[in-house]
Amino acid sequence: MFAATRAVRAGASFYHGQMTGTDPELVLGFADTYVCQSRTYDDTRGAARETHEPLLKEIVLLAPGSRILDVGGGTGNYALPMAARGYEVTVLERSPQMLAVAAGKGLRVTCGDATALPVEDATFDAVTMISMLHQIPDWRGALSEAQRVLTPVGTLVLLLYTAEHLRDHYFLSYFPTSQEWVGTDHAPLAEYQDALPGARAIPLNIRGTDDLTMQIMRRHPRLALDATLARQTSYFARLEAEDPEGLAKGRAQLARDLSEGTLPENHADDLPQGDAALLAWQKPETK
């Protein structure tokens, strides 16, 4: 996590716009980026059909009214389709600004840290973690917490960008200073599977731009030239903060290559490992 830290209210909850609960200090890191993005996040970071439909299939056997915790759920874009199915969904986030947007959609939200969930054991029938685990240095701790709050036979569903997805991303050659932290932030798929024995991995090819991540821009590189759009992704927000000169230089080269038609061949094709992976794990039944 790279941004300056600051204290916010944690362990507090909004219920349909009302905040309740305690307020011990919570230190923000990368989430500071989302303080700036909260008002515009929904413009480019909606629930992609190629993502939320497979996610919903993993929780389809849950009865209506089942409790789901969406950890790192931001403005609630992925929580909304689950709530529309009749599930009782709680969005947990570290950014009060993002949570205020989610609460405005009528969602139940809680301010907290993924590595120290303000939740009792065995509380939720399912936990989702969508495109957020790479932002948590102690991602194993976050997975342990998700397992703790699941009921027996509860389901944990992760949407992951792994080392395999980022390793050959041609953007890294345009923005070389990102290579070090991309490699550090994204673990190999096998490491996530080792932390969740028996988890099933489902590759996802995401062709649309509803949820415009840096990984999706692989197929739509002209969008990376739009600073406003790119700033909505954690990748380009970090580059802008840490290496603005390198970001400008890389964008200029990308623009030239687009103009000259010299991008890597088949850069927009489907990949065997997909653009992302859905990982589904079920908590063992208590004996």
Q: Give the domains, in start order, of the chain with CATH numbers.
A: 7-282 (3.40.50.150)
Of the pLDDT bands very low, low, confident and very high (cuts 50, 70, 90), residue 271 is confident
Write out pLDDT tens, residues 119-146: 999 999 999 999 899 889 999 999 999 9
Q: Which residue has the higher pLDDT, 186 or 256?
A: 256
Reply yes or no on whether the pLDDT at 150 is more than 60: yes
Of the pLDDT bands very low, low, confident and very high (cuts 50, 70, 90), residue 7 is very low
Of the pLDDT bands very low, low, confident and very high (cuts 50, 70, 90), residue 13 is very low
Reply yes or no on whether the pLDDT at 206 is more than 50: yes
Q: Which residue has the higher pLDDT, 8 or 94?
A: 94
Which residue, 115, 120, 127, 54, is CA-closest to 89?
A: 127
Q: What's the whole-number average pLDDT of the chain?
A: 83
pLDDT at site 38: 62
pLDDT at site 21: 36
Which residue, 187, 242, 185, 234, is CA-closest to 214?
A: 234
Q: Which structure tokens are listed for 190?
A: 């096998």
Q: How far apart are CA 279 and CA 73, in angstroms?
A: 17
Q: How far apart are CA 76 and CA 108, in angstroms?
A: 9
